[in-house]
Structure 1
Amino acid sequence: MVSSPAHNPASAPDTAPLSPGTHTYRLGGLVQRYHVHGSGPVCVAHSGGPGIFWEYMRMPALEEHLTMVYVEPIGTTTDNRLPSHPHGYTRERYSSFLEILINRLEVPKVHLLGHSHGAFVAAYHALYRPGRLAGVVLYEGAPVTGPEHGEEAARMVEAFAAQHAGHPGLPGVMAAFGAMGSMSTDEQTAAVARGVLPSYFADYWADEERLAPFREAVRATYISGLDENLVPDAIDDRAALKELTVPALVVVGRHDVICGMRWGLELDELIPQSRLLVLENSGHMGHVEEPELFAASVRGFVLATASAS
């Protein structure tokens, strides 16, 4: 639980659920943390991976207008891992932990922003636990995983390789993609995440001086993608998304190799009355590549749907 205030009110820390800073509570034997920055309507942000630490999601441009609540997804630190770790991190489990956190914030409704794998979690939450959501931002997501998604990603990675043929950094990126299937440790996962990252930007090497520190700061935990019975947590939301009732903003980067234009357009087509933002000069990391446009669009969506709700 959040620590109790000291007896002296003048020296007591602010432990209100949306006070700025890091909040911690225990849930089912696990430690759950979230981090609050900014002010304004509440937007809960769920990072990707699964297993990528939350820090890369910091969005200072959004924090100027919204109260951003950055979740540390279960499994990313040693004190919030399931007994079945590295297995068992299904969307249902992520969503159940997310619902408890949202309820603790003590506001009628929040907006939920999920990036990459976090967008799959956010879509699931909006479909099956919509009651506390004023809106959902599906940022670099897709309606499916599995072979179809993998084939599209492979095609986009091949196009990236052709575009950057001869660049001295390309062999390292391709080697990292080749190592994805054999990851089994936190160290390997972090190395692969950093290794493939140049392909996740529209043009990483043209802006390497600015983006290299972001790349080096990425931290990751190995999570298998299997449930407790070692069965893949397969996703196909195409039918369900046609019935989504939560207002949705779909965000996709024109140059994203993992959850690119095909999937952004399909999400927008499937979801009733969704809004679509195409970031023309971004890959998978639009909040870093085009932060002002990204923030303005998300802020506009949040303010409009907050008023409606």
Structure 2
Amino acid sequence: MSATAALSPGTREISIDGVRQVFHVAGTGPVCVVHSGGPGIEWEYLRMPGLEQHLTMVYLEPVGTGASGRLDDPREYRLDTYARFVHGVVEHLGVPKVFLLGHSHGGFVAQRYALDHADRLAGLILFATSPVTGPEFWADAVANVNRFPERHPDRREAAEIPQAFQDAVGATDDKAFTDGLRRVLPAYFDDYWAHEQTLEPMRAALRAWIDPQRGEEPAPFDVRDRLGSIELPTLVVTGAHDFICGTRWASMLHEGIPGSRLTVLSESGHMGHLEQPETFNRVVAEFARA
């Protein structure tokens, strides 16, 4: 298939190592492959119509989610697996280089891919992510979740967020995982209720699959000592009120990757593309043009 055909708008399906990989193409301009977070969360929360005016956005449905295929062994849902599927799509698109935007867990995938396949990238966009996970990372996230009700004392639903987070983490099937994420979703925003009318349809439609949560990494994700080898143009974006991948972790990325740019969205949490879309779109579009 020619690059023109592969990048025409619509839904595409290819096979990588015998597993179905679905992706969606929208927009015009330089190609930007987009990897959503989770793992296990449906891609559509990350749709960015504003950026489609500047870039040809290629939204992946990560393996194990949505219409993409499933792995026989859930333990194989690892970062190197996701990076392999990214590479399969990049090869299929048939263009010399692409931008790669990774959000949250997708940012872990993007970093892994950049370290292994820098020659295929025009630039790297690390959105609400971190160069490390492990006990300290998760302890920080849990502490922030537990403090979330203090930020919204007038919201009854805010008081339920810490328990909802624990329920999502402890889910054992798709329904429980999806329900838990829907309940905890306000924690992913600076002020969910200020945008509730716009965000509630997304929340109601949110779906998630538990198997990708069962992946077995050989070690906690930590590429801090390799960031200096990333010579790609890199944009780091985070929200000032991101409870899980906030400024502490974004600063590590910015300080570790030579020449990287850092943008902190002052009125956003983990979902800056939804809370401050105009600023987010402008910053990413300017980065891509540069």
Residue among 38, 48, 71 paired with 2:37: 48
- Structure 1 residue runs of 5 or longer lacking an equivalent are 3-13, 305-309
Cα deviations by residue, 1:97-121 (Å, 9 ceiling, x for unpaired): 1101001111110000000100110
Cα deviations by residue, 1:271-298 (Å, 9 ceiling, x for unpaired): 1110001111110111111111101111
Moved more, 155-164 or 193-202: 155-164
State the distance in 2 between where 1:284 and 1:19 align.
30
Moved more, 273-282 or 149-158: 149-158
Q: Which residue of 2 aligns with 1:293?
A: 279
Which residues of 2 match residues 141-160 of structure 1 at below 5 A?
Answer: 141-160=129-148
Which residues of 2 match residues 148-187 of structure 1 at below 5 A?
Answer: 148-187=136-175
Q: Which residue of 1 aligns with 2:20?
A: 31
Q: Does 1:135 align with 2:104?
A: no
Q: Which residue of 2 aligns with 1:274?
A: 260
8 A contact 1:225–1:233 mirrored in 2: no
Q: 4+ residue stretches of structure 1 with deviation over 6 A? A: none
Residue among 65, 69, 73 paired with 1:80: 69
Residue among 184, 189, 203 paired with 1:215: 203
Which amino acid is the alignment partner of residue 158 of structure 2?
L
Cα deviations by residue, 1:187-234 (Å, 9 ceiling, x for unpaired): 11111211111011110122212211121121111135454xx55652
- The residue matched to 2:5 in structure 1 has which SS? coil
Q: Which residue of 2 aligns with 1:238?
A: 224
Query: Identity of aligned pairs, percent?
Result: 47
Structure 1 length-normalised TM = 0.89
Which amino acid is the alignment partner of residue 115 of structure 1?
H
8 A contact 2:123–2:234 mirrored in 1: yes
Q: Does 1:112 align with 2:100?
A: yes
Moved more, 75-84 or 286-295: 75-84
Q: How far did 1:166 drift?
A: 4.8
Cα deviations by residue, 1:24-71 (Å, 9 ceiling, x for unpaired): 112222111110000001000000000111111110100011100001
Residue among 75, 87, 103 paired with 1:99: 87
8 A contact 1:194–1:216 mirrored in 2: yes
Cα pair distance change 1:285/1:234, threshold 3 Å: same
- The residue matched to 1:50 in structure 2 has which SS? coil
Q: How far did 1:180 drift?
A: 3.0
Q: Which residue of 2 aligns with 1:249?
A: 235
Q: How far did 1:181 drift?
A: 3.3
Q: How many residues align?
A: 290
8 A contact 2:239–2:264 mirrored in 1: yes
Residue among 243, 246, 257 paired with 1:260: 246
State the distance in 2 between where 1:291 and 1:163 align.
23
Residue among 49, 57, 74 paired with 1:60: 49
8 A contact 2:23–2:60 mirrored in 1: yes
Which amino acid is the alignment partner of residue 291 of structure 1?
P
- The residue matched to 1:188 in structure 2 has which SS? helix
8 A contact 1:90–1:226 mirrored in 2: no
Q: Which residue of 2 aligns with 1:6?
A: none
8 A contact 2:25–2:57 mirrored in 1: yes
Q: Does 1:203 align with 2:191?
A: yes
Cα pair distance change 1:224/1:111, threshold 3 Å: closer
